[in-house]
């Protein structure tokens, strides 16, 4: 016969301070654990969602990022004429030949400089990114010194708000619109007309080429024809893959750092749970003897104390997740080492992270509670009943 559930629960309630302190320690550990997973998820979501499944990015071989890449005009023309490129309205090829460079801008609050991606796009560039929408002002007019800024840029950098103007490449550029890119990486970019930006930066070559496939399954063919062409020193990647690769270093760093911290911290929390549960067992020796005398088996006692520890852990886990859920309101911005550009992303909570965090909390409870519960179960009835 199992010991009633209420026994385990009430025991936690009786020692409120101890329960609160132990659960509080666990909550902090779960908070760190969940926050790291949320950050990693947010980073992945930001960069992976930047890509469309049927878009292809062409850059110079081994360059890794668009900023380091260079695509000669002749090479761009060869890629543009590939048969797998989709045709849009009126038979126009769905290709955008783009220039991507970094410029140094000062932040609004701290006045410290950070690198910002500025992207020169062709008119087709917007069609290729359906997630990009103008939310204030209007789109830049081709052939003018007008630019549009991504939402996280306009919020964080000086002189990039609607109607303001910013100087780079020897010219003044007017911000005529703010765009929202559905939390993708484009939110951390500034866009302008590629034919205006190239002379301003004295760049005779494009950085990258983005085109849409007329058939999603045609990627292997187009990759083969680009990479086997002797005239080209380019490589093609699916847009999603391209951006996922960019987040790799930062994501690995966050994961390794976060997981090692979680492991170290959980040692502390497990020890806390162990101390609490050992004390709970020691204080209730007489009680345990009584329970045994009443006919409860060793296994039932073991289960009762384990349950108590698991409840404690669950309490800590829920509390930690509750605090972590508020992190979703925060936006974090840092330099992405692979592109050397500033990138803004959010903490993102998913069902999988909730499950993982609670699982982690329960594991701590299990580890911390097992030995004390074992001690309780092994007590000799007569000795236990004699204890004061």
Partner 1 sequence: MLPALIFRNAFRHKLRSLLTLLGLTVAILAFGLLSTVVEAWYAGAEGASSARLVVRNSISLVFPLPLTYRQKIRQIDGVRAITTANWFGGIYKEPKNFFPQFAVEASTYLDLYPEFVLSEAEHKDFLHDRQGAVIGEKLAATYGIKLGDTMTLKGTIFPGQWAFVVRGIYRGRDAKTDVSQMFFHWDYLNETMKVRAPRRANTVGVYVVEVADPTRVAEISRVIDGEFGNSYAETLTETEKAFQLGFVSMTEAIVVAIRLVSYLVIFIILAVMANTMAMTVRERTAEYATLKALGFGPPFVMLLIYGESLAIAALGGGIGIALTFPVATAFAKAMGTLFPVFVVSAKTVWLQACCALAVGLISALFPARSAARVNIVDGLRSIG
Task: Kindly list the residues in this chain that would bind partner 1 in the complex (CB under 8 A).
Answer: 17-18, 21-22, 24-25, 28-29, 31-32, 60-65, 67-68, 70, 101-104, 110, 112-115, 168-170, 201-202, 204-205, 233, 249, 257, 261, 264-265, 267-269, 271-272, 274-276, 278-279, 283, 332-335, 340, 342, 388
Contact assessment for residue 361 and residue 313, using Cβ atoms and an 8 Å cutoff: yes
Question: Which of 175, 58, 193 is CA-nearest to residue 119?
Answer: 193
Using CA atoms, how far residue 159 sits from 104, 173, 190, in Å, is 12, 10, 12
Antiparallel, parallel or unpaired: β 208-212 and 55-60: antiparallel
Least Cβ distance, residue 282 to partner 1 (angstroms) = 8
Least Cβ distance, residue 338 to partner 1 (angstroms) = 9
The nearer residue to partner 1, 181 or 343, going by C-beta atoms, is 343
The tokens for 270 are 């497990």
The nearer residue to partner 1, 140 or 265, going by C-beta atoms, is 265
Least Cβ distance, residue 221 to partner 1 (angstroms) = 25
Question: Which of 245, 205, 180, 230 is CA-nearest to residue 97?
Answer: 205
The nearer residue to partner 1, 139 or 205, going by C-beta atoms, is 205
The nearer residue to partner 1, 89 or 111, going by C-beta atoms, is 111
The tokens for 279 are 């004390």
Least Cβ distance, residue 144 to partner 1 (angstroms) = 20
The nearer residue to partner 1, 28 or 385, going by C-beta atoms, is 28
The nearer residue to partner 1, 21 or 303, going by C-beta atoms, is 21
Q: Is 247 left (phi over 0), alpha (psi -120 to 50) or beta?
A: alpha
Least Cβ distance, residue 201 to partner 1 (angstroms) = 7
Least Cβ distance, residue 182 to partner 1 (angstroms) = 22
The nearer residue to partner 1, 104 or 230, going by C-beta atoms, is 104
Q: How many CB atoms lie within 10 A of CB 261?
A: 14
The nearer residue to partner 1, 113 or 218, going by C-beta atoms, is 113
Location of structure tokens 């909570």: 349
Phi and psi, residue 324, nearest 5°? -65, -30
Least Cβ distance, residue 309 to partner 1 (angstroms) = 14
Antiparallel, parallel or unpaired: β 146-150 and 171-180: parallel
Location of structure tokens 């005009």: 73
**Longest Cα–Cα distance in the chain:** 94
Least Cβ distance, residue 168 to partner 1 (angstroms) = 6
d(CA 349, CA 347): 7
CA 370 to chain centre: 35
d(CA 41, CA 44): 5
The tokens for 317 are 């886990």
- Dihedral of CA 121/113/346/353: which sign? positive
Least Cβ distance, residue 102 to partner 1 (angstroms) = 4
The nearer residue to partner 1, 94 or 196, going by C-beta atoms, is 196
Contact assessment for residue 93 and residue 85, using Cβ atoms and an 8 Å cutoff: yes
Phi and psi, residue 206, nearest 5°? -75, 165
């Amino acid at each position: 016969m199992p010991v009633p559930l209420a026994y385990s629960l009430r025991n936690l309630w009786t020692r409120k301070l101890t329960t609160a302190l132990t659960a509080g320690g666990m909550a902090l550990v779960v908070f760190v654990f969940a926050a790291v997973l949320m950050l990693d998820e947010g980073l992945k979501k930001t960069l992976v969602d930047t890509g469309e499944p049927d878009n292809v990015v062409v850059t110079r071989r081994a360059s890794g990022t668009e900023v380091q890449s260079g695509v000669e005009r002749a090479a761009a023309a060869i890629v543009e004429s590939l048969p797998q490129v989709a045709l849009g309205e009126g038979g126009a090829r769905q290709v955008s030949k783009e220039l991507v460079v970094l410029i140094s801008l000062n932040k609004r609050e701290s006045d410290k400089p950070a690198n910002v991606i500025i992207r020169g796009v062709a008119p087709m560039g917007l069609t290729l990114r359906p997630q990009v929408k103008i939310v204030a002002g209007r789109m830049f007019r081709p052939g003018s010194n007008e630019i549009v800024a991504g939402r996280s840029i306009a919020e964080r950098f000086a002189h990039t708000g609607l109607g303001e103007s910013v100087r780079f490449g020897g010219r003044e550029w007017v911000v005529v619109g703010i765009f929202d890119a559905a939390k993708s990486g484009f939110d951390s970019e500034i866009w302008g007309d590629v034919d205006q930006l190239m002379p301003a930066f004295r760049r005779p070559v494009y950085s990258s080429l983005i085109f849409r496939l007329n058939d999603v399954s045609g990627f292997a063919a187009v990759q083969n024809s680009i990479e086997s062409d002797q005239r080209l020193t380019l490589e093609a990647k699916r847009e999603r893959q391209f951006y996922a690769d960019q987040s790799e270093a930062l994501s690995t760093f966050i994961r390794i750092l976060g997981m090692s911290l979680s492991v170290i911290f959980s040692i502390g929390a497990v020890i806390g749970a162990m101390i609490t549960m050992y004390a709970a067992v020691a204080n209730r020796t007489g009680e345990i003897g009584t329970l045994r005398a009443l006919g409860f088996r060793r296994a039932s006692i073991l289960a009762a104390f384990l349950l108590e520890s698991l409840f404690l852990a669950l309490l800590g886990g829920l509390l930690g997740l509750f605090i972590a859920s508020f992190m979703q309101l925060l936006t974090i911005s840092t330099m992405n080492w692979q592109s050397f550009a500033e990138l803004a992303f959010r903490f993102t909570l998913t069902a999988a992270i909730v499950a993982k965090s609670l699982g982690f909390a329960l594991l701590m409870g299990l580890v911390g509670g097992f030995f004390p519960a074992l001690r309780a179960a092994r007590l000799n009835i007569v000795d236990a009943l004699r204890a004061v």
